[in-house]
Structure 1
Amino acid sequence: MIHVIFQVLMFGACCKAYVNLALNRPAWQESDYSPDWGADKAVDGRYSDRSAGGNQCTISANGKSTATLRVDLQSVVSISHINIFYRTDNAPSPGTYSMRFAGFFLYVSNTTSKDDGYLCFHQIQDKDGTPTENQTISCPVHGRYVIYYNERGNPDVTYPSYYSQYAFNELCELEAYGCHNPKFYGETCAQPCPEKCQEQNCDISGHCLGCIPGYQDPRCSQKCSKQKFGLGCSVLCGNCSNGETCHHVNGTCLSGCNEGAEGDKCQAACIPGFYDRDCRYTCSDNCGVPNRCDKFTGECDRGCQRGWKGGQCDQKCDGGMYGANCNQNCGHCLDDEHCDHINGTCEAGCSPGYDGSLCDDNLQETGFTNIYENTRLDDTSQSEENTMSRNRRRNDTQDDINIDED
């Protein structure tokens, strides 16, 4: 039974293996101990003899504070994991070379510089005999260069006492497993990356390395959450109408803008002189500062000009009032008509007993009432005398007619 299970496991592992993308690719190391142990030994597929004499391992120069080995995968690929097989001199693990291996860094980069790359692994081991000479390091990223690096003598690092004095790279093999085409994933590299992945690139497990604008989650299958849009769903929506969320891709407000905002994305405030939704209304000319008002409500800045009232200064003074803030009383206009809402004048004149440009001069109080009344009586008497004279003339005429007829 155990034998059968072992066979099944081996069959599964065999048929789902990734491709070794580093095999026979160009390699470079910072310093050679000898051309016989150059960087190409780390990618030749041979590491059955992991001694110096086996001619299957790289060996860097002695006495160096840094050691670097770089493998060019010759295109950007999708990496699953990286295997490192370090020099052992064919001795059981842990061997005598772990002190040189300890503290190493492993990067994947799209340039020849590790500083531009992604750090897959680094650890300051604190136990003698570590790390083990066989390492499998998960690094599900895209990249072209795999860079092994180690250092000694860094003043910012406290190295354990068992570490070697100098830095070395003595790799017998470096393997980078994954898919050649970064637009596919899976253990057989046959599944296309999700369609909403940015540039349709994903890691070896099918997680997008970034989403196209408007989408999120590891496989970019979800639209941006409310009030967000754009690349990485990182941009806040504008002031859309009624607090609605904007379009998840381009941020436009489909139902227009709330009060005080305008533009397709409602991210621009109303320019001075306009207010309300989509800035569709003009501030009143009657504002204290003409055409200047609150961009949301239209309420005028600095109140209203003379003769006007209301928050938007769109109502004339009424109720017998006029002037600034409508706080002045009209005079006594003829027939109780309302005075001019701005200057208080009575266009049709004054009621009897009142005079002045604003009809607010009481003639009785100013001593002109008797003159007015006397003038009125004189006019009445004269009218009566004229009437009596006309009547006498009519009577005389009638008498003359009667005589003639006789």
Structure 2
Amino acid sequence: MTITFISQIGLRKCNNNTYGAGCKKQCHDRNCEGSQYCNAKTGACKNGCKPGYTGQDCTTVCPIGRYGIGCRRLCTDRNCKLSQKCHHVTGNCEEGCSPGFTGIDCVKECRPGFYGPDCTSNCLNRHCTLQNDCNNRDGACICKDGYQGVDCTVKKSVNIDGSTKPAEINPTWIIVGTVLGFVIGICIGVCGVMLVSRLR
């Protein structure tokens, strides 16, 4: 049995799949959330629109720069890695999230204890003076002795004398090395000339 509605426009009957002036609009073209009840006059969705759509009958795509339920989210509030292209339904970041953020639309910060790209780096693996102080983007902290890097995960190289400072280069050795290289170069050149002259 076909359920019919009386359209308030022209007192014409619309069946349960159409609505609006002349019953020309299709109820199944809407993007309703939950109930698919179809008002014969307006096509209004009883429970509002699905994410990414707006308007009384939920047939209008979110305007550029907005997405989600009721088109209330701003694309500029996301933390995308590169492209800021914004899907009107999900706000999906095409190239993934910037370090420190996660989720389809990259608005969630890493959960406590993690940081970096895809939130996969563990704060406990760092060598910080204050272990609990963990920046969600890069894990930045003040390093303990013997470690370096933004997140203190790089071990400093130890010199012969046990220090972790870069070894100082003696300028005398630089001069000696340069002169020695020059002399060897001349010797090779002379030997080459002599060898060629003998072969003739």
Q: For the superposition of Structure 1 and Structure 2, which TM-score range results when normalised by the shorter chain?
A: 0.5 to 0.7
- 1:310 corresponding residue in structure 2: 103
Which letter does structure 2 place at the counterpart of 1:333?
C
Deviations 1:15-73 (A, max 9, x none): xxxxxxxxxxxxxxxxxxxxxxxxxxxxxxxxxxxxxxxxxxxxxxxxxxxxxxxxxxx
- 1:342 corresponding residue in structure 2: 137
CA gap of 1:368–1:300, structure 2 versus 1, over 3 A, is: farther
Q: Is the 8 A contact 2:143 2:152 kept in 1?
A: yes
Q: Does 1:278 align with 2:73?
A: no
Distance apart, 1:368 and its partner CA? 7.8
Distance apart, 1:269 and its partner CA? 0.8
Summarize the alignment of residues 66-105 of structure 1 with structure 2, pairs less than 5 Å apart: none
- Number of aligned residues: 153
- 2:158 corresponding residue in structure 1: 366
Distance apart, 1:296 and its partner CA? 2.5
Distance apart, 1:308 and its partner CA? 1.3
Which letter does structure 2 place at the counterpart of 1:270?
C
Among 24, 42, 45, the alignment partner of 1:253 is 45
Q: Does 1:300 align with 2:90?
A: no
Distance apart, 1:357 and its partner CA? 4.0
CA distance in structure 2 between the aligned counterparts of 1:273 and 1:256, rounded to whole angstroms: 21
CA gap of 1:212–1:332, structure 2 versus 1, over 3 A, is: same
Which letter does structure 1 place at the counterpart of 2:98?
Q
CA distance in structure 2 between the aligned counterparts of 1:245 and 1:358, rounded to whole angstroms: 55
CA gap of 1:253–1:369, structure 2 versus 1, over 3 A, is: farther
- Greater Rg over alpha carbons, structure: 1
Query: Structure 2: 5+ residue runs without aligned partners?
Result: 1-5, 165-200
Q: Is the 8 A contact 1:259 1:275 kept in 2?
A: yes
Q: Is the 8 A contact 2:102 2:118 kept in 1?
A: yes
Deviations 1:122-146 (A, max 9, x none): xxxxxxxxxxxxxxxxxxxxxxxxx
CA distance in structure 1 between the aligned counterparts of 2:92 and 2:57, rounded to whole angstroms: 25
- Which of the pair has the greater relative contact order for Cα pairs under 8 Å at 6+ separation? 1
CA distance in structure 2 between the aligned counterparts of 1:241 and 1:356, rounded to whole angstroms: 49
- 1:325 corresponding residue in structure 2: 118
- State percent identity of aligned pairs: 31
Which SS does the other structure have where 1:343 is aligned? coil
Summarize the alignment of residues 122-161 of structure 1 with structure 2, pairs less than 5 Å apart: none
CA distance in structure 2 between the aligned counterparts of 1:277 and 1:326, rounded to whole angstroms: 26
CA gap of 1:281–1:368, structure 2 versus 1, over 3 A, is: farther
Which SS does the other structure have where 1:278 is aligned? helix
- 2:193 corresponding residue in structure 1: none
Deviations 1:213-272 (A, max 9, x none): 6x33xxxxxxx2223112442311322332423320233335422222101221111123
TM, length-normalised to structure 2: 0.58
CA gap of 1:277–1:241, structure 2 versus 1, over 3 A, is: same
Query: Structure 1: 5+ residue runs without aligned partners?
Result: 1-195, 197-210, 217-223, 373-406
Q: Does 1:225 align with 2:15?
A: yes
Q: Does 1:266 align with 2:61?
A: no
Deviations 1:357-376 (A, max 9, x none): 4423324x42388348xxxx
Which letter does structure 2 place at the counterpart of 1:302?
E
CA gap of 1:355–1:280, structure 2 versus 1, over 3 A, is: closer
CA gap of 1:226–1:297, structure 2 versus 1, over 3 A, is: farther
CA gap of 1:285–1:276, structure 2 versus 1, over 3 A, is: closer
